[in-house]
Amino acid sequence: MTYRAAEDIDLIQRFLAGDTAAFNQLMAAHEDRVFGICLRMLRDRDAALDATQETFLTVFRKADRYKAEAAFSTWLYRVAVNTCYDQLRRAKRASADALPESHDPADVRPDDEYAAVELRPDINAALAQLSPEFRAAVVLVDLEGLSLETAANLLGTPVGTVKSRVFRGRKLLAQQLGNLNDPPQHPRNE
Amino acid sequence: MHEHDPDLIMALAEGTLDASDVPSAEAEIAACAECSEDLELQRLALGALEAAPPVAMTEMESSRMRRTLRHELGLVPAAKAAKPQRRWFPIGALASAAALLLALVVVGPGLDLLGPGGDDDVSEVAAFSQTTTTSAAAEADDGAALSGSEAPSGAATESLEEAAADLTTTTQSATTTTSAAAETTTMAPPAAAKAMQFSTEPNLATLEDAIIRLGITADTDLAQFEEQFRALGLAFELATTGPAAYTQECLAAGVDSIAGVTSGYPLGETPYGGGDGMVAVYETETPGDVVVAVQDTTTCEVLDASP
């Protein structure tokens, strides 16, 4: 068990005993990473802040159920990813509901649902083209630096599946970046 | 025909392959067009991802989120939960005042403090009394701070005056001196409170200037000044949605703690020292003269104040 994992267990126990300082320490230790995952998954700052808050609310409300069999951070990040999946589903439904009857779905780019974030625009646009599952794998492993095993644990999938998603996700990302870097070939209407 | 091996391609792209295995791996991949293309794409993606800047919440976002969570989770700060009721009658202050009066009654005549020296002597006694009684007031305030008082602002001073007044009625020989002492105590802030008045935060001076320039008072609708405050470019959020639950208690604590202020109103919020900060404006007896302070939203402690 790492020092961080052991400290998290201690902090959770203190939090459950009513120590509000433990709450602050847990937040300080994890909030940026949770926010990073959410921002890269959702690509919108406000949505990411909402998801981060919802994640911590869920985790703190269910803290008494934490069994310390897995690292607290793994549980926390799993809740974060699931919260992001939920938000993406809700956004997709809301977007579909808002479409007028004559709307052509081909006109909708995936990143229309959210405003741009501070990732480099080309990376952001390329990530936006990935399915949530591929995006989660790439974000967790390549952007958040989690091991394949940790990512697999928190995503609830075999390591091989995560590895495959990372490989294919990177490939799609690179192809998107290539497309984005090419100058547009639209005919001019002059 | 060479086999397409994603694991090998990933390992080569990530640089995690043993150095001794790299030449053979590169040779194998070079012999496979699909493998070569995938290796290039993996490297391209990794390079772009590594160049992505880290993301983090701003202090303001973090502060706001923690506050919301504390509220949602019903977390009560320990300092507030453990607060006992303040003693209405400050025994420490009363004891100090009584000791003072006793000294005056017993020793005073020998020193001719109330002799024909007239006004000058009374002033001298008042100054002496101020020092002693101010210490009592500071002691009372310190006690309140330690016990987490929720008493209204100025309660320590008022109670002290009441105590002094009571003694005045029962100790006829010291009436003049006691009144002078009580009056002087009311006018001068406690030494402990003065020591808290400091300023390390340049934002506060800027905010103070803006408040004076814009003519903001407790009755101002702050929403109309959002643009002006935003233009200051400070890590500060104007309170436009009404005061939070902790506000009144913190304002009372601010009036207790900051020298020379009479009343306060909330201006907004700012990150401070890794935690939350309530920015409040305190008015003084001089019209237009204000003190801008930052207070911990959990303990209400005054963290900083404009000079």
Domain residue limits, chain B = 6-51, 86-189, 196-305
Question: pLDDT at position B78, please?
Answer: 42
CB atoms within 10 A of CB B211: 20
Position A150 confidence tier, pLDDT thresholds 50, 70, 90: very high
Dist. CA B26–CA A147, nearest whole Å? 25
pLDDT in tens, A28-64: 999 999 999 999 999 889 999 999 999 999 999 999 8
What is the residue type of A158? P
Task: Determine contact: A143 vs chain B, CB below 8 A.
Answer: yes
Task: Determine contact: A82 vs chain B, CB below 8 A.
Answer: no
For range A167-180, the mean pLDDT: 88
pTM over 0.80: no
φ, ψ of residue B190 in degrees (nearest 5): -60, 150
Torsional class of B88: left (φ above 0), alpha (ψ -120 to 50), beta (otherwise): alpha
Nearest CA to CA, how far is A12 from chain B (Å)?
A: 14
Give me the residue from A35, A56, A166 closest to B69, CB to CB.
A56
Is B279:B269 a contact under the CB 8 Å cutoff? yes
Give me the residue from B42, B65, B73 closest to A52, CB to CB.
B65
What is the residue type of B174? A
Q: Two tokens at A10?
A: 């201690």
Given a cut of 90, whether residue B148 has pLDDT beyond it is no
CB atoms within 10 A of CB B275: 18
Beta-carbon separation of A120 and B53 below 8 A: yes
DSSP state of A143: I
Please, which residues 57-86 of chain B have a Cβ atom closer than 8 Å to chain A? 57, 61-62, 65-66, 68-70, 72-73, 75-78
Query: Chain A residues with CB inside 8 Å of B298's CB?
Result: 20
Four-CA torsion B70, A41, A78, B63, nearest 10 degrees: -20
Given a cut of 50, whether residue B143 has pLDDT beyond it is no
What are chain A's domains?
1-118 (1.10.1740.10), 119-183 (1.10.10.10)
Dist. CA B287–CA B292, nearest whole Å? 15
Nearest CA to CA, how far is A55 from chain B (Å)?
A: 10
Beta-carbon separation of B48 and A126 below 8 A: yes
Strand order across the B290-295 sheet? B237-238, B261-272, B275-284, B290-295, B302-305
Dist. CA A93–CA B234, nearest whole Å? 38
**Measured on CA atoms in the order A35, A36, A37, A38, is the torsion positive or negative?**
positive
Given a cut of 70, whether residue B184 has pLDDT beyond it is no
Q: In 3D, which of A7, B282, A52 has the Cα closest to residue B294?
A: B282
Task: Determine contact: A103 vs chain B, CB below 8 A.
Answer: no
Partner residues linked to B304 by β-bridges: B294
Dist. CA A168–CA A150, nearest whole Å? 19
Task: Determine contact: A91 vs chain B, CB below 8 A.
Answer: no
Given a cut of 50, whether residue B128 has pLDDT beyond it is no
Q: In 3D, which of B259, B261, B254, B260 has the Cα closest to residue B300?
A: B254
Q: Extract long-range pairs of B70-73: CB within 8 Å, 24+ residues apart.
A: B70/A20, B70/A23, B72/A57, B73/A23, B73/A57, B73/A60, B73/A61
Query: Chain B residues with CB inside 8 Å of A18's CB?
Result: 78
Dist. CA B188–CA B101, nearest whole Å? 20
ipTM of predicted complex: 0.79
Task: Determine contact: B9 vs chain A, CB below 8 A.
Answer: yes
pLDDT in tens, B77-94: 544 433 333 333 333 444
Position B244 confidence tier, pLDDT thresholds 50, 70, 90: low
Inter-chain contacts counted by CB atoms under 8 A, chains A and B: 108
Task: Determine contact: A149 vs chain B, CB below 8 A.
Answer: no
Four-CA torsion B69, B73, B79, B84, nearest 10 degrees: 150
